Every structure is written in C-alpha cells, then in structure tokens.
C-alpha cells in the first residue's frame, strides 16, 4: 500500500522533471519549469520519507534542512560571474554522494549475506530490523546479485570520477588551480592504467564480493577524475562542466539500478543525456571532437602557423567614443574577460546609452564564450540587458558587413580569423564570429598577449582593428561619460 | 579560280567587298582576283592601288561577272545581277535570305551557290567572318558621331573660365555589338552613358564598357540569351510595360538616345514612343539604328534626319557603315577573305564547298540547284550558356525528390541505429535476469526522452539548464534515504553525509536557477 503510493509519486515526479527540462526551451516557460522541478523533487523526497526511507526520518529531515540552509545561503550569496565554479562544486557533491551510496549498498549486501547465513529460511521475520533496501536485496537471486555488483561498481566508479573531476574543475574555474593543461609524466598512459586497474577490480569484485577491490577501484577512479580534468585547458571548460554534469547523471542512474529505484534511473538518465547533448553542442561550436577535448589540451599545431604581420594599434577612450557616437549599428562580443572584470554592468550601461541615442545595438554570443554553456547570457541578463538583443552566432554572423562598429570585450579565440584563414591553426575550422567584417573593430583587452589557448590572433593586427587596452570595466567606465 | 568584285549598284553604297590588302591575301590562297573599274573609288581605293596589288581591273560589270567564278560583293544582288549568275558560280554577299524568296529562287534556277554573309553562325570560330558584327560595330560608333554632329553641346562635362558645362547623358538601348560600340564611343567622349538590354546577362559587359546598366523592377524568368543564339527575342507584355515605364522615367533627363534593338526577321520593336520624344529636351538627338526595319521610334523616317516640333532631332540613316566606307570595306573584305580561307582548306585556289562544316553550311542559302535555307541549328552552342545563379531555385519536383532522398537517408541511419541498439538490448536480455530488464527499459526510455527534450532548450538557457539538472541530479538523495534506516553505524554515517550533501544541492541548485531566470527580461 505504502509502496504503491511511493511508486505513484515517483511517476508524477518523473513527469514533472521531464516537463521541467522541456520547459527550458523559452525564457518565459523556463520560470514555470523550475517550479515543476521543485515540486517534483519535493514529492519524490516526501514519498521516499514516508515509504521505503522511513527509518530515522527525523534525522533525514534534519540533515536535509541543514544542507538546505547551506544551499540557500550559497545560492543567494554567489556572484553571477562565479556561476561556473558553483555548478562545478555542486557536481562534486553529487559525485561524492553517489560514491557513498554505492559503498552503503555494498555494506548492505554484506549485512544481508551475514543475516541470511544465520537464519536460512524464515526471512521476513528476521529481516524486519534491517532497512527497506536490505529487504530488497534479500529477495535477489545469485545472477541478480552479480548484476547488482556491476551496477554498484559502475555507480561508484562514475561517481568518483565526477567528484575529483568537479573539484579540479572548480579549482580551475575559481582560479585556485592553474587553468593551463597540465599532465603528470606518463600522460594518458596513467589514465589508461588506472582504467585497466579498475576493470581488473571489477572482475575481482564480482567474483569475490569483497570491499578491497571496490575501494581500490575508487582510488583509481578518483585519480582518473583528477588527472583527466587537470589535462584540459581553461578554454575547454564549457565542455568539461557539461560533461561532468552528464557524469553525475549517469552515476545516479547506475546507483538507481543497484537500488532498484526507477525514479533514480529516470532522472539520472535525463541528466546524463542532457549533459551529453550540451557537451556535443559545445564541441560542435568549437569544431572539435569530444574525444580530443577529453584527452586534453589542444593538439600541437600540424604545421607552420601563419606569421602575423603588422602591429597592434592602440586607441584611447575618446577615439572609441567618437566612433560609437558616429555609428548607427553596433555589435558587442563579450567573452570570459568581461566576466573576469565584472564589466557586465558597465556594458549594460553602455548599451542603454547607445540605444537611447537610437542606435541598433546587439550582442553576438559564441556558443563557447565564457566557461560554462550559456555563461554570457546569464551575465548579461544579470546586468538587465534585454534578451531579445542578445543573438546567437548563427543569427548574427551575416550582419557584420553592415555593422559600423564591433566591440570585442574580453574574448579572443572565438573572434580569431585564423580559424578560417590558416589551416595550420590549432583552431582551424572552428566557427568564429566574423567581427573583422565590420567597418571598425575595437578590442578591449588587458594587454598584448594570447588567449587561453595561446594562439596569436590576427584580428588584433587588422587594419580596421583598434586595441583598447586596459581592464574591461575600467575602460568602459572611462568611455561611458563620453557617449552622448 | 577567279574572285571578282563588282561595283555596288545600290544607290549611295560606298563600300566594296575587296580591298588591295584582302586581294593580296586571297592570292596567297591561290585565287586570281578581279575588280570592276571604279568599284573601290567611293571607299578610297583607286584602280591603281588594286592593280598594284595584282588585281585585274575589268571595265564593265558584265565582263567581271563573266570572268569570275566567285563573286564577292556587299549588298544583296538585284535582279540584273542575279541574272548574271550561272551554274557553278559562287556568290558571297549579304543576301537577306529570309526576305528574299525571289532571289533564292533565281539563284536556284541558275544553279549557283550563294553564301549569305548575314547567315554566318554566331560561334566563336566564325567570329572572323561575322560581317554583321563588324558592320554593327561601325554603325554603333558612327551613331554616336552622328548624334554628336547634331547635338549642340559637349559630350563631356567641363568647368571652364567661361562657365560650367554639364556632361551629356546618353542612353543606349540594346547592348548588342552596335550598342556596345556606341557605349564605348560615348563613354570615351566623356558622356554619362546609360544602357539597357532585355538580356540581364549583358549587364556585366555594359558595365565593363564604362556605362551604367539600367535595371528594371521586373520579377520574371528572364530569357537566357544563349538559347536564341545571342540575339534578343520577343518579350512578354508585362516586361514591355516595365521597360517603357523605365524609359519614360529617363526620357526627360537624357540628351541622346541611341536605339539598336533589332529582333531577327521581325519589324523593329517600338521602344521609344511618341510621348517619350515629346518629353525630351529641345536639342536632344535620337539615333535609330533600327530605321531599316521600321525603327525603334515610330517617328523615325528611314534614311532621313528629321526635327520634331519640340526640337528633337531624329536620325534614321540606314547606311552608317557606308558612311565610313574605308573602314567598313576593310573589315568586310577581311570577313570575306576569312570566309574564302575556310572554303579553301587546301590553299589551292579551288573552292571546297563543305556542307558538313557548321559555318559554311549555315551561311549557304543555295547549293547546286537547291535552296538550303534555313540551315539546321549549329552543332556547337552559340555562346557560353548564361551562368546559373549559385543557389538554384529548386522546382517543386526536385524539392520533393531531395526531401525524399533526405528522408530515406535519415530513415536508413535511424533504422541502422535502432537495429544495432535492438540487437545489443536483446543480447543483454539473454544473460540478464528479468528484474534487471525491467529497470533497463525504464533507463532506455528515459535516455530517449532526455535526448528529445534537451534539443529544444534555448541556447541562452544552457546555464540555467545545467543548474536545474544539477539540482535534480541530487535525486541521489533517495538512495541515501532508503539506506539511512539501516542498522550499521557506518552505513548511517555515509548515508547521512549523502543526504546532507544532496540537501545542499537541491536547495542551492533550484534557488540559483530561479535567480538566473528571474533576470532574463525582454526589452
């Protein structure tokens, strides 16, 4: 009876989660969609608490409340520019939770086995003091137990990778770990070795059922997660974050299998496929293969890169202001530099002033601008830039030739013409915003230097490009009073 | 064999079909040359210069016709001349076969071979003997000169001490050979030159000559000029209306109009109507190169220059090439000489009338007692086919075919994927117990739903999507909740930690998402 209710609640929750993800197709419906998610989650937790998870429910509630308080505090305090770090940190929590739950499942199996060994026949009576999950295990046959082992093993494996991977990603995004791609000597051989070790542990574990192989594998997986993400450069972070997101989903699904919980499976699969698609979209936007992103860093240049000739011509704020005052159409291309300098408010103010003067101002967002899928959109939204003037690359790329001024704020690789002109460039073939086709281009940049990927950008040397050096926020604040 | 050129009988015709230069070349082909006394006088070639070039000068036309095996002349032969044709004589001349039934009959009955110069096909190989083009070139040039002669102002704009002179505005209608020649002459004299043609593909040629092409606001399938041998063809009524409207708009501003629009074997189309003439400024000049075929302007009087009531001069001369006889004779004689070169592949002074040859076959109107006009279409396409626009508008059938092919490919890849997936699932099902398969079905379906749903997520909402998925991935809390009631302390500890962490995630994730979404706003 109780369990029937739980299952029904799970079905409703699953539907709500699907609606919640589907609702994100538009800005307006998204606001409703979040509520679906919240209600779904509340329903699922409630149904579990009064159903199979009723043991120690008070402690559970207390823990949820405690965790929730921290969650609320963090969510309210976090800066929008810190969003990538926050998401990465949260992924690590899910990963760690998956590892713990996996371990628990293992202990339960052992407990049940011990109890079963003592009392062989009369199950229900003796098992009543065990948890709901244990009752489930007790009914399993040998083959099912073997599969259970594999599922559990996978859950722990993916969870562990997600955990350390997310911690490293968090460190990189928060600037606590160097964002450059670093590898231990041995490179991918170490990863492969750790993976092989894990596989051996899997065979060992399924045959023996002991804790040691599981533990050994966990260590190996933790190492893989750490080393894999350390080897991926800062520019690839959008892919990494969405990939970890995907992993946390798959870990949940694997755990769901081992616990025999369909809702876990459904939600895990939803999250897993969502992250996978996001990774795919990001990779496509960079014209790179998922595998080559995961294996880390940009591959070495295949040949001599085109030498860049000319010099970078600097310009002061008054020059930029004069050009902006004369312009009819302006396109702004924000990048990670805008996020770093916290310049989105100044950008928004600039846009407001330009629009008040009757100019056509739009934003061009490259799919991998920033460190998180959709990062720029969130920052601009925070600064109250209307979302209908924020365009995707495909929508706006053809408009550059008719544009008077393009302003590049803290982006580099996504506006690099070498991607189209130089077949030897590491980013050759990556779709880029063709801002150099605008009549005039201003690049707001801290100094002469290459971007994350360390690639020289010929855009900065073009005849119609002027470099507006300095911190993006300081530069824009200098510029603002000069705009009429 | 002997090639002879008589004096042109047509009144006012100053051209001659053989010059001393061309005669020298013909002799190199093995021919003897003869000319009627005084034939080249009007074009500036005296009998003495011919004799110097080794040409036999014959006193009378009759003697010349009699002595020559091949007669080369300019104008269409009249009845007297046709009578002088005999069997095995070859006549090379303009012949107007489409409008000269009697002439062809006469030539046929005499058994003579006639090569009509206007019938030379318009293919690259035959350009050297294309007399129509060489004459049109002269006509175009001369039209501008005649216009200038009758126009009271400069062509070019000047700022002089005595005042500012605006440049003349010239409109050339029809950008064929004559039109292009007129454009070239007009622009080099310094006038602002506009040009119009019904074939939009010549716009590039027009612009290369320095004129501005007048485009019509007309959306219709324009005919590909290549299909009609490079000549204009008859246009639809709507097109004509759009064209006339454009001309009416231009009429008050242009000073000189040169019309060159001719459609083969038809009366010239009326392009410059009476009201347009009335709209023009006094002193303006119209040169109608189509006067012979009725004129592109109906006020035109053939072979006359008239002045309308509002002071517009209309020139209807039909003999522009003849007015530049020295030049036109040189070019025409060269065309004839090239024709003879093709007729004499062996260079032995004997005609080899090869009816298999596209050019010779096309130009021959009577051959060995038979009328061979009109010729079959040439085997080689006339001119380069107009370049198709890069993105071709697909016809509905093509579109459907393409869609069907795409659909097929899609179906194929989908079916392959499904088959592979299905086989794999079945393999798993063979070894896995039923309880696992139940969950597996749920899993596969959920992945499927996930893929379907996530594709629809807006790009700008990817960060909120990640936050939401992050929040709901803390569904792992269910597992921890189920385990927390277990007896073992270690299990309770780990499960408790999991619940705690998932709790952070649930609240943090949803709250952040809501914060982000609340920021998105429309302008």
How would DSSP label each residue in B388-412? Answer: PPSSPPPPHHHHHHHHHHHHHHHHH
pLDDT of residue B386: 42
B388-407 confidence digits (pLDDT tens): 444 455 667 777 788 888 88
Residue B6 is given by DSSP the state P
How far apart CA A24 and CA A29 sit, in angstroms, is: 7
B256-309 confidence digits (pLDDT tens): 999 988 877 778 888 899 899 999 999 999 999 988 888 888 889 888 899 999
Using the predicted structure, report yes or no on whether residue B157 has a pLDDT greater than 50. Answer: yes
pLDDT of residue B285: 94
- Residue A149 Cα, gap to closest chain B Cα (Å): 12
Using the predicted structure, report yes or no on whether residue B465 has a pLDDT greater than 50. Answer: yes
How far apart CA B49 and CA B33 sit, in angstroms, is: 13
Q: Which of A75, A103, A248 sits opposite B473 (nearest CB)?
A: A248
Using the predicted structure, report yes or no on whether residue A416 has a pLDDT greater than 80. Answer: yes
Average pLDDT taken over every residue of chain B: 84
Beta-carbon contacts of residue A481 (< 8 Å; ≥ 6 apart): none
| CA of residue A99 relative to chain centroid, distance | 20
pLDDT of residue B228: 52
pLDDT of residue A125: 42
Tell me if B487 and A130 make a contact (CB, 8 A cut-off): yes
B305-363 confidence digits (pLDDT tens): 999 999 999 999 988 888 999 999 999 999 999 899 888 888 888 888 888 888 888 88
- The chain A residue lying nearest B494, using CA atoms, is A100
pLDDT of residue A123: 44
Give the tokens for residue A5. 């209710």
Using the predicted structure, report yes or no on whether residue B484 has a pLDDT greater than 50. Answer: yes
pLDDT of residue A133: 59
A44-58 confidence digits (pLDDT tens): 888 888 877 667 778
Looking at per-residue pLDDT, the higher value among A40 and A305 belongs to A40
Looking at per-residue pLDDT, the higher value among A463 and A66 belongs to A66
Q: Which of A236, A413, A422, A471 is catalytic?
A: A413
Tell me if B488 and A105 make a contact (CB, 8 A cut-off): no
Q: Are A153 and A217 in contact (CB under 8 A)?
A: yes
Q: What percent of chain A has pLDDT over 90?
A: 3
Identify which of A55-59, A317-321, A426-430 has the greatest average pLDDT. A317-321
Q: Could you tell me the pLDDT band of residue B73, with boundaries at 50, 70 and 90?
A: very high
Looking at per-residue pLDDT, the higher value among A362 and B484 belongs to A362
Looking at per-residue pLDDT, the higher value among B173 and A376 belongs to B173
Interface probe for A, chosen from B432, B479, B518 (most Cβ of A below 10 Å), is: B479
Looking at per-residue pLDDT, the higher value among A159 and B421 belongs to A159
Q: Could you tell me the pLDDT band of residue B17, with boundaries at 50, 70 and 90?
A: very high
pLDDT of residue B254: 92
Instruction: Report the DSSP beta bridge partners of residue A443.
Output: A408, A467
How far apart CA A59 and CA A44 sit, in angstroms, is: 17
How far apart CA B359 and CA B362 sit, in angstroms, is: 5
Looking at per-residue pLDDT, the higher value among B189 and A176 belongs to B189
Please, which residues 108-127 of chain A have a Cβ atom closer than 8 Å to chain B? 108, 111
pLDDT of residue A449: 64
Q: Are B110 and B82 in contact (CB under 8 A)?
A: yes
A413 is an active site residue: yes
Tell me if A60 and B484 make a contact (CB, 8 A cut-off): yes
ipTM (interface predicted TM): 0.76
Q: Could you tell me the pLDDT band of residue B143, with boundaries at 50, 70 and 90?
A: very high
Using the predicted structure, report yes or no on whether residue A301 has a pLDDT greater than 60. Answer: no
Q: Are B195 and B211 in contact (CB under 8 A)?
A: yes
pLDDT of residue B46: 92
Looking at per-residue pLDDT, the higher value among A135 and B143 belongs to B143
Of A128-132, A158-162, B351-355, B400-404, give the lowest mean pLDDT range: A128-132
pLDDT of residue B470: 85
pLDDT of residue A376: 83
Is A131 in CB contact (< 8 Å) with chain B? yes
Average pLDDT taken over every residue of chain A: 80
pLDDT of residue B383: 44
- The chain B residue lying nearest A84, using CA atoms, is B463
Q: What percent of chain B has pLDDT over 70?
A: 92
pLDDT of residue B233: 59
SS3 at position A361? strand
Beta-carbon contacts of residue A322 (< 8 Å; ≥ 6 apart): none
Looking at per-residue pLDDT, the higher value among B121 and B224 belongs to B121
Instruction: Report the DSSP beta bridge partners of residue A329.
Output: A360
Using the predicted structure, report yes or no on whether residue A303 has a pLDDT greater than 80. Answer: no
Kindly provide the b/e burial profile for residues A370-395, where b requires at least 16 CB atoms within 10 angstroms of the residue's own CB. bbbbbbbbbbbbbbbbbbebbbbbee
pLDDT of residue B4: 92
pLDDT of residue A135: 60
Tell me if A104 and B494 make a contact (CB, 8 A cut-off): yes
How far apart CA A239 and CA A278 sit, in angstroms, is: 8
A166-195 confidence digits (pLDDT tens): 998 888 888 777 766 677 776 778 888 888
Using the predicted structure, report yes or no on whether residue B436 has a pLDDT greater than 80. Answer: no
B79-127 confidence digits (pLDDT tens): 888 888 888 889 999 988 888 888 888 888 888 889 999 888 877 778 8
């Amino acid at each position: 009876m109780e369990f029937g209710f739980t299952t029904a609640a799970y079905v409703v929750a699953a539907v709500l989660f699907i609606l919640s993800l589907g609702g994100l197709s538009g800005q307006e419906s998204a606001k409703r969609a979040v509520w679906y998610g919240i209600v779904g989650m509340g329903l699922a937790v409630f149904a579990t608490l009064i159903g199979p998870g009723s043991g120690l429910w008070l402690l559970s509630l207390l823990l949820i409340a405690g965790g929730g308080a921290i969650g609320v505090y963090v969510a309210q305090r976090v800066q929008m520019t810190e969003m990538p770090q926050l998401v990465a940190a949260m992924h690590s929590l899910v990963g760690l939770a998956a590892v713990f739950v996996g371990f628990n499942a293992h202990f339960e199996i052992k407990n049940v086995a011990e109890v079963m060994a003592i009392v062989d026949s009369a199950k229900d009576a003796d098992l009543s003091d065990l948890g709901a999950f244990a009752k489930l295990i007790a009914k399993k046959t040998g083959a099912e137990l073997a599969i259970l082992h594999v599922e559990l093993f996978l859950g722990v494996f993916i969870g562990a990778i997600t955990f350390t991977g997310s911690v490293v990603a968090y460190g990189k995004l928060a600037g606590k770990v160097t964002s450059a791609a670093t590898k231990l000597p041995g490179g991918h051989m170490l990863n492969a070795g750790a993976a092989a070790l894990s596989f051996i542990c899997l065979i060992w574990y399924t045959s023996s059922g002991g804790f040691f192989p599981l533990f050994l594998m966990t260590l190996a997986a933790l190492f893989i997660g750490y080393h894999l993400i350390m080897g991926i450069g800062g520019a690839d972070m959008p892919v990494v974050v969405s990939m970890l997101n995907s992993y946390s989903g798959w870990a949940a699904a694997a755990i769901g299998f081992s616990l025999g919980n369909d809702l876990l499976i459904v939600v895990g699969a939803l999250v897993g496929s969502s992250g996978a698609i996001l990774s795919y979209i990001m990779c496509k936007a960079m014209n790179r293969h998922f595998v080559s992103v995961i294996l880390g860093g940009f591959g070495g240049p295949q040949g001599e890169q085109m030498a860049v000739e000319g010099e970078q011509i600097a310009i002061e704020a008054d020059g930029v202001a004069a050009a902006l005052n004369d312009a009819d159409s302006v396109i702004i291309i924000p990048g990670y530099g805008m996020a770093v300098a916290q310049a989105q408010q100044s950008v928004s103010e600039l846009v407001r002033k330009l629009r008040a003067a009757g100019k056509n101002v739009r934003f061009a967002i490259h799919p991998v601008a920033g460190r998180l899928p959709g990062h720029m959109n969130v920052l601009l939204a925070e600064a109250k830039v209307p979302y209908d003037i924020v365009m995707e690359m495909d929508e706006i790329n053809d408009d550059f030739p008719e544009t008077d001024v393009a302003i590049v704020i803290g982006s580099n690789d996504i506006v690099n013409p070498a991607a189209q002109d130089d077949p030897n460039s590491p980013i050759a073939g990556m779709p880029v915003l063709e801002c150099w086709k605008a009549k005039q281009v201003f690049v707001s940049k801290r100094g002469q230097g290459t971007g994350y990927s360390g690639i020289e950008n010929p855009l900065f040397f073009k005849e119609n490009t002027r470099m507006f050096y300095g911190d993006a926020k300081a530069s824009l604040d200098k510029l603002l009073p000069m705009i009429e | 064999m002997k090639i002879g050129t008589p004096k042109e009988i047509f009144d006012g015709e100053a051209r001659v079909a053989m010059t001393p230069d061309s005669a020298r070349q013909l002799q190199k082909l093995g021919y003897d040359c003869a000319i009627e006394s005084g034939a080249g006088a009007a074009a500036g070639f005296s009998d003495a210069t011919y004799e110097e070039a080794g040409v036999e000068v014959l006193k009378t036309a009759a003697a010349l016709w009699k002595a020559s095996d091949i007669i080369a002349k300019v104008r269409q032969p009249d009845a007297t001349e046709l009578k002088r044709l005999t069997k095995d004589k070859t006549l090379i001349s303009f012949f107007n076969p489409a409008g000269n039934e009697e002439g062809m009959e006469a030539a046929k009955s005499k058994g003579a071979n006639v090569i009509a110069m206007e019938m030379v096909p318009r293919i690259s190989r035959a350009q050297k003997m294309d007399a129509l083009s060489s004459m049109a070139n002269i006509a175009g040039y001369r039209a501008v000169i005649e216009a200038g002669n009758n126009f009271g102002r400069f062509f070019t704009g000047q700022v002089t001490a005595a005042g500012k002179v605006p440049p003349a505005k010239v409109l050339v209608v029809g950008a064929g050979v004559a039109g292009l020649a007129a454009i070239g002459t007009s622009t080099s004299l310094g006038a602002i030159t506009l040009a119009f043609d019904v074939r939009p593909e010549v716009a590039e040629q027009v612009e290369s000559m320095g004129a501005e092409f007048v485009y019509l606001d007309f959306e219709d399938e324009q005919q590909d000029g290549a299909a009609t041998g490079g000549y204009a063809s008859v246009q639809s009524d709507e097109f004509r209306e759009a064209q006339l409207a454009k001309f009416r708009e231009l009429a008050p501003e242009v000073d000189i109009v040169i019309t060159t629009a001719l459609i083969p074997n038809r009366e010239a189309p009326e392009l410059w109507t009476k009201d347009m003439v009335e709209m023009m400024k006094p002193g303006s000049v119209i040169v109608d190169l189509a006067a012979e075929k009725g004129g592109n302007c109906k006020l035109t009087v053939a072979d006359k220059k008239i002045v309308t009531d509002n002071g517009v001069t209309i020139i209807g001369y039909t003999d522009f090439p003849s007015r530049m006889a020295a030049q036109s004779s040189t070019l025409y004689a060269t065309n004839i000489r090239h024709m003879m070169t093709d007729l004499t592949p062996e260079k032995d002074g004997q005609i080899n009338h090869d009816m298999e040859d596209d050019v010779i076959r096309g130009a021959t109107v009577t051959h060995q007692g038979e009328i061979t006009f009109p010729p079959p279409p040439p085997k080689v396409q006339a001119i380069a086919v107009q370049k198709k626009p890069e993105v071709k508008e697909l016809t509905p059938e093509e579109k459907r075919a393409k869609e069907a092919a795409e659909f097929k490919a899609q179906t194929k890849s989908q079916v392959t994927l499904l088959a592979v997936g299905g086989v794999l699932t079945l393999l798993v099902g063979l070894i896995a117990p039923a309880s696992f398969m139940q969950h597996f079905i749920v899993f596969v379906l959920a992945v499927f739903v996930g893929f379907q749903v996530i594709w629809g997520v807006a790009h700008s909402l990817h960060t909120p999507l990640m936050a939401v998925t992050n929040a709901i991935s803390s569904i792992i809390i269910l597992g921890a909740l189920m385990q927390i009631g277990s007896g073992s302390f270690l299990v309770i500890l780990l499960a408790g930690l999991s619940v705690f962490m998932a709790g952070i995630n649930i609240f943090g994730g949803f709250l952040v998402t809501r914060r982000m979404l609340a920021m998105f706003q429309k302008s």
